[in-house]
Amino acid sequence: MSNTAPERGAMSVDEFCAWASISRAKFYRERNAGRIKLRKIGRKSVVVMSDAVAWLNALPEAA
């Protein structure tokens, strides 16, 4: 998984999915469970970089 942060402070859902190597379906399951925060900038939905990193750090460690 590439966790290289984009230079911007937020990324689109598609950018987040590519960054985290997850599907859009998995993203929306995580969002509906309250584990990923989605914010609005005008009509666009974005994930703030600090929220993306917090989500990644909250994942369980591999055995």
Which of 61, 44, 55, 57 lies closest to 17, judged by CA?
55
**Residue 42: what pLDDT?**
94
CB 8 within 8 A of CB 48: no
Average pLDDT over residues 4-13: 78
**Residue 2: what pLDDT?**
54
Strands (E), the chain: 10-12, 39-41, 44-48
In the sheet with 39-41, reading across from the earlier edge strand, the strands are: 10-12, 44-48, 39-41
Tens digits of residue pLDDT in 17-41 = 999 999 999 999 999 999 999 999 9
**Residue 6: what pLDDT?**
52
Pairwise CA distance, residues 61 & 57, whole Å:
9
Q: pTM (2 decimals)?
A: 0.81
